Structure 1
Amino acid sequence: MRRSMLSEWHQKILQITHLSTDALSIYLGLILFFFVAFCHHRQLKSHYAIWSAVVVAVGLELFNARHDILDRGYWRIGQSLQHILNVLLLPLILWLMARYRVWKG
């Protein structure tokens, strides 16, 4: 029953925003990264911001893997890695650019 409620919320969010699942994952990673970076004093160079994005990306995929195994009988590892990459790609690029001072002013 929990799975169906979460699936319904996911589908409603996709319908409201008119985004694909991949785009929603990308925006989720960016929003989380910016929120934690805003709250932390080091901002975009914050280790907390990038690690929070990593923990959420891996946690969501472990949750989805659990349901894949229970519903399908196997884990779609390739699709899980793609979702983790979608969540982490832009926050990681921004963090690396801030860390290695690409934007010198």
Structure 2
Amino acid sequence: MIIVDQLGIAKDALHVYVGLTLFLTSAALLRWPLSSWRPWLVALAGALAGEAWDLRDSLVYDSPIRLAANLKDVINTIIWPTVLMLLARHTAMLRRH
């Protein structure tokens, strides 16, 4: 929440940024093609780790667990990595020439 407050962005937007950052950074650093499952899995792992942390906080601070909100966060995190991966796989748009 500190990052959301400091940057002045919505929490949902932060999920999108994190997903894209994990996807693109892992692909670039490890020289994986965007069409590969590997950078997508990095983004998914980041999304699931973040939601595990949120669930842990809910238990520690005795706040309600909202699984629908957790699912929405995972989807927000991986939606654009999924779109980019599919575009790289099925179109010429993201292929190297």
Larger proportion of helix: 1
Q: CA deviation at 1:29?
A: 0.6
Q: Which of 4, 22, 28 lines up with 1:14 in the alignment?
A: 4
Q: How many pairs are equivalent?
A: 95
TM-score, normalised by the number of residues in structure 2: 0.84
Q: CA deviation at 1:73?
A: 5.3
Q: Which runs of 4+ in 1 moved over 3 A?
A: none
> Are the aligned partners of 2:32 and 2:39 in contact in 1 as well (CA < 8 Å)?
no
Unaligned ranges ≥5, structure 2: none
**Structure 2 residue 80 is matched with structure 1 residue 90:** yes
Q: Residue 96 of structure 1 aligns to which amino acid in structure 2? A: L
Name the counterpart of 1:75: 65
**Structure 2 residue 31 is matched with structure 1 residue 41:** yes
Unaligned ranges ≥5, structure 1: 1-9
Q: Using the alignment, how far apart are the partners of 2:26 and 2:67 within structure 1?
A: 28
Q: Using the alignment, how far apart are the partners of 2:54 and 2:31 within structure 1?
A: 33
Q: Answer 1 or 2: higher relative contact order, Cα 8 Å, separation at least 6.
A: 2
TM-score, normalised by the number of residues in structure 1: 0.79
Q: Using the alignment, how far apart are the partners of 1:16 and 1:67 within structure 2?
A: 21
CA RMSD of aligned residues (A): 1.8
